[in-house]
Amino acid sequence: MKLSEVQRFTVARHIVAETDRTLRTAGDDGYECFALWTGVFLDSRFAVEHLYVPFQEAYRGEDGVCVQVGADELHSLNRWLYDKHQTLAIQIHTHPHEAYHSETDDTYPIVTTLGGVSIVVADFARPGLLASSTAYYRLEPGGWVSVHRAAMDPLVEVS
């Protein structure tokens, strides 16, 4: 199965809680944070099994804040994915205020597989990553596309 064929991503509540804590801790210091969700294909869905927080350097400057993950860390990530039989499907990062995919987010994603998901969380994740202010994007052949799904039919569902 391919990531682009996945209709729904499921994630356990404790992984959501752990991710929220990680994002908020960075936000409390005024920094954006990148987190990754990896997992396995299960029937027509993708089951998230792990939170992976890559080593990252956060900057706070006059133009705002940004986060960089280096080539060495991306290499470590790929080796970890291979060793653990995991697929990287979802990247999550925070913004200080509004959640949207910026030009930088479009240009330098960590998830680069078609069908991958990018979640942008508003207000340094203070409302939580599953808040209604969170924005969802999916990588399609033409680039990252905003996803709007009804509350009854979420793209990412807590299992």
- Residues near Zn ion (CB under 5 A) are 102, 105
When CB distances to Zn ion are compared, the closest residue is: 105
Taking the complex as a whole, the smallest distance from the CB of residue 95 to Zn ion amounts, in Å, to: 5
Taking the complex as a whole, the smallest distance from the CB of residue 40 to Zn ion amounts, in Å, to: 27
CA distance 101 to 56: 19
CB of 102 or CB of 159, closer to Zn ion: 102
Taking the complex as a whole, the smallest distance from the CB of residue 54 to Zn ion amounts, in Å, to: 15
**Residues of 13-23 as b/e, b for ≥16 C-beta within 10 angstroms?**
eebbeebbebb
CB of 1 or CB of 130, closer to Zn ion: 130
Q: Give the DSSP letter of residue 133.
A: T
In sequence order, what are the beta bridge partners of 64?
Answer: 61
CB of 18 or CB of 105, closer to Zn ion: 105
CA distance 11 to 144: 22
Q: Pairing between strand 8-11 and 34-42?
A: unpaired
CB of 86 or CB of 91, closer to Zn ion: 91
Taking the complex as a whole, the smallest distance from the CB of residue 93 to Zn ion amounts, in Å, to: 5
Taking the complex as a whole, the smallest distance from the CB of residue 42 to Zn ion amounts, in Å, to: 29
Sequence-distant (≥ 6) Cβ neighbours of residue 91 within 8 angstroms: 34, 35, 36, 37, 109, 110, 111, 116, 117, 118, 119
Of 64, 43, 38, 65, give the one whose Cα is nearest residue 53. 38
CB of 86 or CB of 99, closer to Zn ion: 99
